[in-house]
Amino acid sequence: MNRNLKKFNGEVVIITGASSGIGKACAFEFADNGALVVLAARRENELKKVEAEIKKRGGEAYSVKTDVKNIEDCKNLVDKTIEKYRKIDVLINNAGISMRANFEDLNLSVIKELMDTNFYGAVYCTKYALPYLLKQKGTIIAISSISGLTPLPGRTGYCASKYAVDGFFNTLRLENIKKGLNVLVVHPGFTSSNIRKAALNKLGLPQNETPRDENKMMSSKEVAGIIVKATLNRKRDLTLTLQGKLTVWLYKNFPRLTDWLIIHVMAKEPNSPF
């Protein structure tokens, strides 16, 4: 987007998981387009770096240390935003973690960690921000995944959390369809970010490496640019990458065939658990 257009001039945008990946890229893209961005994540030092870079580029940013698993942190995030800016125009529920292990081998605490972060974290933030978003007739954005529409072996907890995100936000859209609220659910395909290195293994520890070639994926910046445009156009759904769109279409129309295609592709990962 052209920075001079300032399409979001004066609009307040909360972004969770803003210290890296898609969240960080969204922070820069929205700020470059004139938004007042509120940055939320657990890693306060990284948040401050993003905030400083945005201000260096001439934008406006405000960071609030937030663990979305903590309901009081989510309330505090909204309270601090209202205290500073008096309104909320856009909420981007982006904070999330992944995993990589077969369910048979998985410690159940991993499933809980993913649901608490990916699903309940989005629910908590949305609950407290909703009255202000309704007042502004604003937009709620949920960063789901292609894995919220299709299965992905070795990621039972991740898929479960993203399917839950889809169900929740698609229903929230209907509940508020007469109130002017826009709900955008984004389904990125494989995106170059830190999420695979931070993904939890069967014991709930970060795997600290990516099993995929990050250079062959859509960049977080590309994803953020698409989200900015979709927000301006008040879109309701995004499915990203040609591979992602094809996988969703195939799974809808030829589920048995697609099951085998997915397992064949994922089995090629280094140290694949299946």
Q: Residue 35 is encoded by which pair of tokens?
A: 């938004």
What's the half-sphere exposure (Cβ side, CA atoms, 13 Å) at 17? 26
Q: Which of 133, 119, 122 is nearest to 234 (CA)?
A: 133
Give CA–CA dist 213/269, Å, rounded: 10
Instruction: Give yes or no: 128 in active site.
Output: no
In the set 120, 158, 163, 251, the catalytic residue is 158
Residue 27: phi and psi, rounded to 5, are: -60, -45
Contacts of 224 (CB under 8 A, 6+ apart): 22, 25, 26, 28, 29, 30
Written as one letter, the residue type at 5 is: L
- Which residues are identified as catalytic? 158
